[in-house]
Amino acid sequence: MRILAIESSGRCASAALLSDGLIKAEYTLDTGLTHSETLLPLTDKLLTAVGGEAPEVIAVSAGPGSFTGLRIGAAMVKGLADGWKAGVIPVPTLEALAYRYYGYEGLICPIMDARRGQVYGGVYRFDEEKGLVCVKDGGAYELRELINFINGLGEKTVFLGDGTDRYKELLQEELKIRCEIAPAHKRYQSAACVAVYADEAGEKAVIPATAFVPEYMRQSQAERERAEKNG
């Protein structure tokens, strides 16, 4: 499959193209501009650089993550898919993040800052036969809940995601197992990982663009404030 992958769930805007199982190009920007300003021009440049041929499928980081970023990504993907008559493969953000450590011999714990004292996180491992295996489902957690769970397993663990930036000291203080925090070049979301995940999922994972809805996992701040106001 020729797959265009879009990643807009975090601070970086990222797009990648995979064809015949190979990453042909990946563009990533973290310039402080909004995804609404960067994502479409970045994607256009990427496709121009690899010949401009339309993809068969668009893979998109489906959440959790930034509410605004996910909505921008979803709107763009739906528009492009409609124009190209392409299908869509939604890719769970946390699982795509775990692909940064494909083949790692230990536990992989992506954590994303969800604010209000929570992180979006999950625990995964790679199995030679089964591929990515979920040890603890992705969700919105108090970080100490994930820490206690991992301490209970007693296995070496790598942490990645922007949650490590905010909670590095807490992780170092409370973890009782051998652990490491991913270096900067492997710490954040990547459209290339979204593309590889989608390629492995295959055609059975393709859905119509009209059926795609991001996975927010909880209400946005505006929705929470409105609910509180309405009692």
Report if residue 228 sits inside a domain. Answer: no
Q: So what's the pLDDT on residue 52?
A: 83
By the 8 A CB rule, do 61 and 91 touch?
A: yes
Kindly report, residue by residue over 120-137, the tens digit of the pLDDT. 999 999 999 999 999 999
Q: So what's the pLDDT on residue 228?
A: 47
Report if residue 230 sits inside a domain. Answer: no
Q: So what's the pLDDT on residue 117?
A: 86
| 162/148 same-domain check | yes
Rounded to 10°, the helix 163-174/143-153 angle is 50
Mean pLDDT score across all residues of the chain: 93
| 88/155 same-domain check | no
Query: For the chain, how far is it from start to end, CA to CA, in angstroms?
Result: 50
Does 219 have pLDDT greater than 80?
Answer: no
The CATH number linked to 177 is 3.30.420.40
pTM for this model (two decimals) = 0.93
| 98/175 same-domain check | yes
| 57/124 same-domain check | no
Report if residue 218 sits inside a domain. Answer: yes
Rounded to 10°, the helix 67-84/35-49 angle is 40
Report if residue 210 sits inside a domain. Answer: yes
Report if residue 229 sits inside a domain. Answer: no
Kindly report, residue by residue over 150-159, the tens digit of the pLDDT. 999 999 999 9
User: Alpha-carbon distance 92 to 77, whole Å?
Assistant: 15
| 181/99 same-domain check | yes
The phi-psi region of residue 157 (left if phi > 0; otherwise alpha if psi is between -120 and 50; otherwise beta) is beta
**Closest C-alpha among 58, 230, 64 to residue 141:** 64
User: Alpha-carbon distance 80 to 131, whole Å?
Assistant: 30
Report if residue 150 sits inside a domain. Answer: yes
| 99/175 same-domain check | yes
3-state helix, strand, coil in the chain (%, to 5): 40, 30, 30
Phi/psi at 188 (nearest 5 deg)?
-115, 175
| 181/120 same-domain check | yes
| 64/144 same-domain check | no
Kindly report, residue by residue over 157-185, the tens digit of the pLDDT. 999 999 999 999 999 999 999 999 999 99
| 43/72 same-domain check | yes
| 35/142 same-domain check | no
Residue 230, judged by CB atoms within 10 A of its CB (0-12, 13-18, 19+), counts as: exposed
| 16/57 same-domain check | yes
In which domain, by residue range, is 65 found? Answer: 2-92+189-223
